[in-house]
Amino acid sequence: MAKNSSLGVAAPRPAIYLLKSVQDALRAELDKALAPLALTPPQMAVLSALSSRPQLSNAELARAVFVKPQSMVPVLQLLESRGWIARRRASTGRTMPTELTPEGRDRLKASRVATNEIEAHMLASLSSKDKLRLRELLEHCLESLRPNQG
């Protein structure tokens, strides 16, 4: 806790600061865990998105992993050059639906093992009830920040 200098008591850090600090620490751990797999967290996010929703276009993938479409192009080119994804030109338009290759599925499986270990370590001191409550609270925060869907 931070000290409130005017009162001499510890003031709680703002939740937004704590969330950003957790995000930064988590990103550092993910970078470290995924490096031996030659993956970055954004690349893993692409593989994960394609695992659950094959045939996404560049723009759809960009939205799914929270980057701009122009940022997705080099990511997809790299994943394709490594043989982890396959893209083909659609019969109409300029979209190039993308799917995981068997090598991409293997890479994703290995990355999930690594990320599951990080999550387990991060939550190890929480009870099952607290883990569930944390998930519920984070889902609530996420829903509160999303634009109205209807």
Residue 117 inside a domain? The answer is yes
- Rounded mean pLDDT of 122-149? 91
**Which of the two residues, 146 and 17, has the higher pLDDT score?**
17
**Which of the two residues, 54 and 22, has the higher pLDDT score?**
22
Residue 138 inside a domain? The answer is no
**Which of the two residues, 34 and 68, has the higher pLDDT score?**
34
- Evaluate if residue 21 carries a pLDDT over 90: yes
Structurally, the chain folds into a number of domains equal to 1
In CATH, what number is assigned to the domain containing residue 82?
Answer: 1.10.10.10
Residue 68 inside a domain? The answer is yes
Residue 48: which residues within 8 A CB-CB, separation 6 or more? 108, 112
Residue 145 inside a domain? The answer is no
Please report the pLDDT score of residue 147 as a whole number: 77
Q: How far is CA 64 from CA 58, 69, 113, 130, in A?
A: 10, 10, 21, 28
**Global pTM value:** 0.79
Residue 15 inside a domain? The answer is no
Please report the pLDDT score of residue 88 as a whole number: 77
- Evaluate if residue 125 carries a pLDDT over 80: yes
Please report the pLDDT score of residue 96 as a whole number: 72
Domain carrying residue 48: 38-122
Residue 53 inside a domain? The answer is yes
How confident is residue 91, by pLDDT bands cut at 50, 70 and 90?
Answer: low
Please report the pLDDT score of residue 93 as a whole number: 62
CA atoms within 13 A on the CB side of 19: 8
- Rounded mean pLDDT of 133-139? 96
Residue 95 inside a domain? The answer is yes
Angle, in degrees to the nearest 10, between helices 69-81 and 41-52: 90
The SS3 call for residue 80 is helix
Residue 136 inside a domain? The answer is no
